[in-house]
Amino acid sequence: MFEDKTLVCKDCGAEFTFTAGEQEFYAEKGFENEPQRCKACRSARKASSKSERELFTAVCAECGGEARVPFKPREDRPVLCSECFAKKNA
C-alpha cells in the first residue's frame, strides 16, 4: 500500500525519508500534500515562529511577593504569584 519515499527538503536541500507510517498518518488525517521540509527544518521553523511571551511584574495580593504574569495587571483585579495561585486552586 504505502512505501517509504525519499524527498528533498526545500530549505536545506537534504534528503529525508517520508516513511510508510507517516504516509498512512497523512492519509488518515486527510492531508493531501507531502512534507516539504526535513524534521530538523520543521522543528527550527516551528521554534522560530513562537514568539517570546512578554511578562509583567506585579505585587501578589496574597503574600506581597513579586508575581510575574503574562498579562498586563489592572488595578481593579488582584494578581497572585504562582505559589499563591497554586494554593488557591488546590
What residues does each domain of the chain span?
A: 5-49, 56-89
Instruction: Give me the pLDDT at residue 53, please.
Output: 75
pTM recorded for the entire structure: 0.54
Task: Indicate whether 11 pLDDT > 70.
Answer: yes
DSSP-assigned beta bridge partners for residue 66 = 59
- pLDDT tens digits for 26-72? 999 999 999 999 999 999 988 877 767 788 999 999 999 999 888 89
At residue 13 the predicted structure's pLDDT band, cuts being 50, 70 and 90, is very high
What string of DSSP letters covers 23-86?
A: HHHHHHHT--SPP-S-HHHHHHHHHHHSPPPP-EEEE-TTT--EEEESS---TTS----HHHHH
Task: Indicate whether 90 pLDDT > 70.
Answer: yes
d(CA 78, CA 66): 13
